[in-house]
Amino acid sequence: MRILFVGDVVGRTGRTAIADHLPGMIRDWSLDLVVVNGENSAGGFGITEAIYQELLDAGADAITLGNHAWNQKEALVFIERAPRLIRPLNFPRHSPGRGATLVDTKSGKRALVLNAIGRVFMEPSSNDPFSAIERELEACPLREGCDAIVLDFHAEATSEKQGVGFFCDGRVSLVVGTHTHVPTADHQVLPGGTAYMSDAGMTGDYDSVIGMQKEEPLQRFLTGIPSGRFEPAGGVATLSGIAVETDDATGLAVKVAPVRAGGRLEPAVPGFWT
């Protein structure tokens, strides 16, 4: 199976990058499954129903969230009728929506998509991600309940992300980190066969401070005093993510590569598909 995970889409410029690049990637690379993190897609904070549909129309099979899941209040309602929108599964018990979903891939296989949030240096407070992930993997084991499993672990600390990667190794096709908006260089296949990357990076304008116009973050760093709102940077975005190819017999990864297209970062494509 050919899987593409796209990192946090930030604002309008990030959505434009999805529209510009994703359909061609799906066509040219014969992708089976596309998962997009959309928690910053509405003005940098949260997601709306119209944007959810926009990302699906561009080719996403599932859309994950994170700590900004509820910044757009309509998400608290429309998530219940949006089966492919996934909030962190270890959110408090009565949170609306779902933290996992089974999707039919473009090739007719079944994939389990999970979203969990870290607890180290993160707000709001959430339940233990390890036990929550374990329950989902027991309920739908790889190759028994599905052909592939993708986990978006939305977290700040690299150590916590690595811990989740090794916790899932051999049981999940891909564990990929989101939230920090900077792509890491540690893409690899772990010893048990799980593809891993500490952070996929953002799909946004990298002439920015993690996707936001530079002036307000710098003002706060220099003075400690807010002077306005954070606003998404409006330059040309780089689509950032990770590509994985799995073994159909096991559902585990055999190849992994970073993906970057457009904008300021050096382009990167999975050479094994070109």
Q: At what angle do helices 49-58 and 11-29 cross, to 10 degrees?
A: 30
Residues marked active site are found at: 68
Which 8-state DSSP code applies to residue 271?
G
Cα 60 vs. chain centroid, distance in angstroms?
A: 11
Dist. CA 154–CA 144, nearest whole Å: 26
In the chain the first and final C-alpha atoms are separated, in Å, by 15
Cα–Cα distances (Å) from 214 to 101, 187, 194, 217, 265, in that order, read 36, 28, 36, 6, 17
Which of 45, 77, 49 lies closest to 63 in space, CA to CA?
49
Which residue do the tokens 């190759």 mark?
143
Strand partners, 245: 2, 255
Rg (CA), the chain: 17
Which of 269, 202, 266 lies closest to 17 in space, CA to CA?
202
Cα–Cα distances (Å) from 23 to 34, 41, 56, 59, in that order, read 10, 18, 11, 6
Dist. CA 159–CA 157, nearest whole Å: 5
